[in-house]
Amino acid sequence: MSRDVTKLRYAESHEWVDVAEENGETIATIGISKFAVEQLNDLVYMDLPEVGRKLNFRDEFGEVESVKAVSPLYSPVSGEVVDVHTDLPDNLDGLNDDPYDFGWILKIKLDGELDGSLMDHAAYEKQCSEQG
């Protein structure tokens, strides 16, 4: 299955969110955008949270490191971490190649609705073009 990037929601800090019903629960799959991956370039390390961790909107849940910078990762939703892509830190090239499908980072069981500050694809593309 390939994610439709035009249907995702985006945080100002470049995380994407894909919300779906799974086993009767609302689950948000989260990753970082292609723009973020391209800006970081040459990824070398990623730190992921533990399953069971509770996160609030904008909580830092990990970091991604490239040869030029370390960037914190922020939760674009509130809820409990129910799954983590444990193969990702050892396969960061896969994140470069496919940030929206292979490159998912974690899944969170939502505590409520999505925050109103999350952008649709058009607004996020505008932000990225302004950041250059």
CB within 8 A of 3, min separation 6: which ones?
A: 18, 100, 101
Asked if 42 and 92 touch (Cβ cutoff 8 Å), the reply is no
Asked if residue 97 is part of any domain, the answer here is yes
Asked if residue 15 is part of any domain, the answer here is yes
Give one word for 97, left, alpha or beta, with left for phi > 0 and alpha for psi -120 to 50. alpha
Average pLDDT (52-76) is 95
Q: Which domain holds residue 90?
A: 5-121
Query: What is the predicted pLDDT for the residue at 83?
Result: 97
Which CATH number goes with the domain that contains 51?
A: 2.40.50.100
Q: What is the pLDDT of residues 85-96, one digit of tens each?
A: 999 999 999 998
Asked if residue 35 is part of any domain, the answer here is yes
Amino acid at 4: D
CB within 8 A of 56, min separation 6: which ones?
A: 75, 78
Average pLDDT (89-112) is 94
Nearest one of 72, 127, 68 to 105, comparing CA atoms: 72
